Structure 1
Amino acid sequence: MEQSFSRKLEVPVVFQPEGTKYCGPAGLSMIFKYYGLNIPFEQIIKDLEVDTVGTYAPQLGLYLIKHGFDIEIITLHPTLFTKNDYLMNQEEILLRIEDLFNKTKLEQNKKTLNYFIEFLKSGGKIKVKIPSKEDIIEEIKYNRPITALMTTNFLNYNEPKFNFHFNVITGIDNEFVYVNDPWPDNTNGKKKHKINEFFYGIYASAYADLDNACLIKIKKN
């Protein structure tokens, strides 16, 4: 029988300005506030130099590393890895990413891969595995919020549209994942999704950039 686990963390909600791609900076602001760090939202946006598609998971991870956090990205993006790569160490992962960077001709992919390279060289870690609820439980159990890069529109709204979006995971129980969603709608930002639907949102987002379909584990030093 599956062991029961239920916990929700009190993480402040920060909304991105309407019409912007600032969900990543908003998520970072929530994390900083949770850990008692006073870094203005506007400063995060300025430091990250948000581009036209938003921010990238390793870019956010790199910023967190610079502010005293240990970061591990959980991903098995099918453009980067296969299930045969589960045992890759960090050096092997870096070589894989560098090789892909040298081979790709798409500028958008080069940009994402370059962030991964910087992230790994700065001490960030990548764990090659399919993100799972056990990853969330492992972090929430130690009172650590975790972030997800996923597609969320199908979970929240009536009109079908593909998007990719950062959420901060604040809790989990046997039925739901609880998140802070920075998108400014008519809710208070506190949302819950059935576990299978939430993870579908993560996996489906691999359709977009190479950093999508991931969880970001965040540990304060």
Structure 2
Amino acid sequence: MSETIKDPFEELIKGKSADSLNPFHIFSEWFVEAEAAEINDPNAMALASVDETGLPNVRMVLLKEIDDRGFVFYTNYESAKGRELLGQGKAALCFHWKTLRRQVRVRGPVTPVAAEEADAYYASRARGSRIGAWASKQSRPLESRFALEKEVAKYTAKFGFGDIPRPAHWSGFRLEPVEVEFWQDRPFRLHDRLQFRRENPDATWSTQRLYP
């Protein structure tokens, strides 16, 4: 039964050398299909980081940009994930598009985005979200919901109808992958897996198929 299903990677690999294949291009094609198929947040991804003890941590965040340099997302640098990413400098991502029965896993080093890049994205956010970046002491104990609303009111009054600058503690990270795996569901758990690997973000990609 599985042999009658079209190989999702055949056209991507056929007649191409390993260094001519680019996982960013494949991801972009899959992402366009996910945007059309998924009802909510096709850019949602599980982000895994590691704390100073080596214990992993995972949560859902939103992808905000993808290009040949990597995957970009934003957060409070003083949050748990911000501290872990700054401290360890590495992370993993997992996209799962249930409607398409596809998954993409990504691993590699993370680096802060340039201030100009963070400023541009911050300026595109809703005003309430920009206020929230100032008001929320993310990941730290909160005595009550009222305390959070009080902080929101405080910064709403402070900035009035004027410009809301980006807080120094709020910015973005770019994960520059050294490993990307594309997974396509097949019947009887005989899935298709295609892995891209490279030694570092400046090296050439190699590819291999993996047993399901």
**What is the TM-score of this pair, normalised by structure 1?**
0.31
Identify the structure with bigger relative contact order (alpha carbons < 8 Å, sequence gap 6+). Answer: 1
User: Which structure shows the higher strand fraction?
Assistant: 2
